[in-house]
Amino acid sequence: MSRPLPLILAQAPGRPFGDLAGFAADVERRVRGCAPSALVVYPELHLGETSTGLQAAPQEGAEPLDGPRDATLAELAGDLGIWLVPGSIYERGGDGHVYNSAPVYSPQGKRIASYRKIFPWRPYETTQPGREFTVVDLDGIGRIGLSICYDTWFPEVSRHLAWMGAELIVNVVRTSTSDRAQEVVLNRANAIANQIFVASVNAAAPSGVGRSLLIDPQGTVRAETPADGDATLTDVIDLDETGNVRRFGTAGLSRIWDQFRPDDQPVPLPLYGGRIDPTTWNPTPAAQQGPWRAAHPSASSVVS
């Protein structure tokens, strides 16, 4: 048994927030000749520039999640028969705040999820922080988790997404600074520590410094861009590999999700005012259903 997921990771320079026609043409160019029903991913705020390389202010490019842009992106995904993460966008919430949000569209031409960045890069980013971890089921394939750029610096994000059943973390990025080298290490560490695929897609120059990469649940880099130019990474991953690594262990040894036994004592976590509960440590499907949802309002699981 296997659950293949074709990936098309677009390391592209940013576009003006109104250039949806140009974006559609670029997506079509990158998916041409590739496997059908691929997951296509663009960088953070890809559609959020005022001119080449210059990021728009949040208030400039923001519109409601279900506005005209949303309809166009949904139609594009449906026309091409792809799963589409068009990077992140500026979302004007019903509360009047602007969020940095990453939507997901299905091959049926519907938006099936959207994630608001929990950790804006302060003090430089002024968007309102989100409050929910988000995973989404790609019908018949598997479950992915969403993160945006600076989120990867906070291990709590990747840990929660893995615990919520994600088998692949899609991390959309717009890093133009010298710390991309550290982000590469952090993404590999998150993959290893959670035994999960990670796809970190950065913007190309002049919007970003590139170095996009795809990492498997063992922490091995499967594909990467060597520089900052416009590039497309393609691969077909098997999401069953996540379960295999967790079952047999990283390098055939370490099984972190089987660390605790039900009769182990809870481990206090003073930083969070909480604890690690051995009875709920392992990420099983049952942990995502029923009373768990009502008891954990800070998490969001979306099923297509």
Q: What is the per-residue pLDDT across 55-71, written as a single tens digit (0 to 9) for each?
A: 888 888 899 999 999 99
pLDDT of residue 196: 97
**How far does CA 267 lie from the centroid of its chain?**
29
Give a yes or no: residue 298 inside a domain: no
Query: Quick one: tokens of 253?
Result: 């040894």
Q: What is the per-residue pLDDT across 138-162, written as a single tens digit (0 to 9) for each?
A: 998 999 999 999 999 999 999 999 9
Q: Under a CB-based contact definition with an 8 Å cutoff, are residues 136 and 144 in contact?
A: yes
Query: What's the rounded Cα separation, in Å, for the pair 104 and 89?
Result: 11
Give a yes or no: residue 277 inside a domain: no
Give a yes or no: residue 138 inside a domain: yes
Enter the pTM of the model.
Answer: 0.93
Sign of CA pseudo-dihedral 197, 99, 29, 231: negative
**How far does CA 268 lie from the centroid of its chain?**
29
Q: Which domain holds residue 72?
A: 4-261
Give the chain's mean pLDDT: 92
Give a yes or no: residue 301 inside a domain: no
Total structural domains in the chain?
1
In the block, tokens 């990158």 appear at 30
Say which residue, 141 or 296, is predicted with more confidence: 141
Give a yes or no: residue 299 inside a domain: no
Q: Which of 44-53, 177-186, 200-209 has the lowest mean pLDDT?
A: 44-53
Query: What's the rounded Cα separation, in Å, for the pair 225 and 233?
Result: 7
Is pLDDT above 70 for 299?
no
- Helices 155-163 and 180-194, interaxial angle, to 10°? 30
**Residue 300: band (very low, low, confident or very high) from pLDDT cuts 50, 70, 90:** low
Give a yes or no: residue 148 inside a domain: yes
pLDDT of residue 52: 72
Write the Ramachandran bin of 58: left for phi over 0, alpha for psi from -120 to 50, otherwise beta: alpha
β pairing state of 54-55 and 213-215: unpaired
CATH of the domain at 171: 3.60.110.10
Is pLDDT above 60 for 288?
no
Give a yes or no: residue 292 inside a domain: no
**Which of 136, 213, 224, 127 has its CA nearest to residue 173?**
213
Q: Under a CB-based contact definition with an 8 Å cutoff, are residues 232 and 28 in contact?
A: no
Q: What is the per-residue pLDDT across 203-245, written as a single tens digit (0 to 9) for each?
A: 999 999 999 999 999 999 999 998 999 999 999 999 999 999 9
pLDDT of residue 289: 40
Give a yes or no: residue 134 inside a domain: yes
User: How much is the average pLDDT of 118-140?
Assistant: 95
